[in-house]
Structure 1
Amino acid sequence: MKKWIRSLSLLLSLVALTAVISGCGSTALSSRNVWKTDQKSKTITWGVKADTRLFGLLDTKDGKIKGFEVDLAKALTKQMLGKNAKAKFIQVTSSTRMPMLKNGNIDAIIATMTNTAERRKQVDFSNTYFYAGQSLLVKQGSSIKNVKDLNKQKGTVLGVVGSDSVENVQKVAPNATVLQLTDYAQAMTALKSGQGQALTTDNGILYGMSVQNPGYVVTGGTFVSEPYGIAMDKNQQQFEAAVNQALKEVRANGEYNKLLHKWFHNVKGFDYEEAAKE
């Protein structure tokens, strides 16, 4: 009997301890000051894409994620915390980036994320760091020249889960069928296999895909503006202010333009002035 009582007592103690730990973790997450934490650690943890050429793509040779957004995050980190500061990168997708931010796995999202009114209900955005526009990627010689053709022909357009591009194309081409894939690599494979007549997302991403896949071209101009912003959790005003100040400084000192040219100089038809708009 005494043994049973001791076991029950131990079990109740463990349950209570778990509740305390969980409660503390929840409180810490909801009330943490990202900027003060990062200043103390001299580290900013960024959520970046690893499947998006030119912005964030995993290099299988060395296992590192490389791209414009990765380099910009490094520049911002040093601008914010000093030359010895560290930028830490965690891979996200269009569907996982918001939950990972809310869970505290990352401090900020810099992952081709468009600043929209709907998203601003959940997160705050920095000033624009890349001004993109939604377009279409098609096989060279395709009868789909623009989004109107897609609507007229009642074609199938490919998109990625978690991207607002899917919602946008449904509005402008309601007759088209939308097929959503997990990531851009799968979407490109689906386009090549004929599962869709076009792939839609931001033109910056599509330019990268066209470079990687000769015979596929960006077409139709842009039919929706897609300004990219760095997403942060709500109530992180100090961190947001620091990010915006750093963005202003890297634009002013020429680092921003240097990175833009580094990653997009080989992209046919790329408009530097358009991309650099704030």
Structure 2
Amino acid sequence: MRGLPSQRKGRAARWSTLALAGLLLLSGCGGQSPSGSPALSAQRDSAGSEAAASASAAGCDVLASPHPMSPLPAAGAAMPSGSTMARIQKRGRLIAGVDQNSYLWGYRDPGTGDLKGFDIDLVHEMARALFGDPDRVEFRTLNSAQRLTAAADGTVDLVAHSVTITCERKQQVAFSADYFHDGQRVLVNRSSTARSLADLAGHKVCAAKDTTSIATLKAARPKVVPVGVSDWTDCLVQLQLGEVDAVSTTEHILQGLQAQDPETMIVGPAFTFEPHGIITAKRNTDLVRFVNAVLDRLRADGTWERIYARWMGRFGPVPKPPTPRYAG
């Protein structure tokens, strides 16, 4: 497609944008935010119902998670003897696997060295419920390919890292209820003529390794050329350098990339349904029930919406959190 690949003309000017993108990711600021796309809530809910029905027919209820712990003890109160939560309390800190390269969801502020974002705030709320202190957390940063292994082998207590819930992954780890759902879209340079994934047939499209996004690209028809990287910021750099023609993943990740580089834009409708869950080792069902109870509280008292507004409110109206589905 003529004019689709990143333009070589003016590349020197783009290098200044590249430097700015890195600064914005580190600083967690950036002045005027780009306008966001529509919330797509109805579309995602419809897609979610279809995906859940399809998975159920195949023998897997993709959205079902264990019933919440009831009652949820008061913040900082002793957890049941012998429980995973009691062991974490005895240790004195929650160990959480998170991202440090997804602006607005899990990124590092260079001014303080602190990790910030939507997922980071959720982890702080888990620590608050365990210890009465949201800062009793040891964060361990992971790339996308490390998330499932770190949860499954107990390297961390839980992972909050934009993990899409799938039936295949449920065989490896335990998932909380859906705390945020989204859909995969496409990010391109403003000079691109592409307006959908189909327009990128035969062109290079970037996504992080071992994600549902890269799997979707590999299965795309018409075919694109998937390019796998370790972190989403690597995709942005490759797009800026003209080494790929697009980035494709869930919209909330793309919004963070777009916020770092105003010379990019998100195009096309969402073409997947991506429910997100916090993950733990499969053996720690009690911890999943605890996490679900905390998430229920965050939905009920408005904390979920306040956290969303803090990080994503710039992109449009604050949606209602997903309705959880419990089984077992």
TM-score range, shorter chain: 0.7 to 0.9
Question: 2:272: which partner in 1?
Answer: 224
Q: Measure, in 1, the Cα distance between the counterparts of 2:146 and 2:268.
A: 30
Post-superposition Cα deviations, 1:168-197, rounded to whole Å, max 9, x if no partner, equal: 122233511111112112111111111111
Q: Which moved more, 1:78-87 or 1:191-200?
A: 78-87
Letter in 1 for 2:145: S
Match of 2:220 among 162, 167, 172: 172
Q: Which moved more, 1:101-110 or 1:245-254?
A: 101-110
Q: Measure, in 1, the Cα distance between the counterparts of 2:96 and 2:302.
A: 22
Q: Which has the higher helix share?
A: 1
Q: Measure, in 1, the Cα distance between the counterparts of 2:318 and 2:274.
A: 15
Structure 1 position 159 matched with structure 2 position 207: yes
Match of 2:256 among 203, 208, 212: 208
Post-superposition Cα deviations, 1:205-256, rounded to whole Å, max 9, x if no partner, equal: 0001101111111111210011110011112111111000000001111111
Residue 42 (structure 1) shift:
4.3
Question: 1:277: which partner in 2?
Answer: 322
Report SS of the residue matched to 1:112: strand
Question: 2:184: which partner in 1?
Answer: 134
Q: Percent identity?
A: 26
Match of 1:251 among 299, 306, 328: 299
**Conserved? CA contact 1:49–1:93, under 8 Å:** yes
**Conserved? CA contact 1:42–1:85, under 8 Å:** no
Question: 2:110: which partner in 1?
Answer: 60
Unaligned runs of 5+ in 2: 1-81, 324-328
TM score, norm. by length of structure 1 = 0.82
Structure 1 position 182 matched with structure 2 position 230: yes
Coordinate RMSD, CA, aligned? 1.8
Question: 2:136: which partner in 1?
Answer: 86
Q: Measure, in 1, the Cα distance between the counterparts of 2:295 and 2:134.
A: 18
Match of 1:44 among 75, 88, 94: 94
TM score, norm. by length of structure 2 = 0.70
Match of 1:193 among 234, 241, 258: 241
Note closer, same or farther for the CA distance 1:95–1:144 as it changes in structure 2 (3 Å cut).
same
Note closer, same or farther for the CA distance 1:174–1:107 as it changes in structure 2 (3 Å cut).
farther
**Conserved? CA contact 1:80–1:242, under 8 Å:** no
Note closer, same or farther for the CA distance 1:84–1:135 as it changes in structure 2 (3 Å cut).
closer
Report SS of the residue matched to 1:235: coil
- Larger relative contact order (C-alpha < 8 A, sep ≥ 6)? 2
Report SS of the residue matched to 1:60: coil
**Conserved? CA contact 1:132–1:226, under 8 Å:** yes
Note closer, same or farther for the CA distance 1:240–1:45 as it changes in structure 2 (3 Å cut).
same
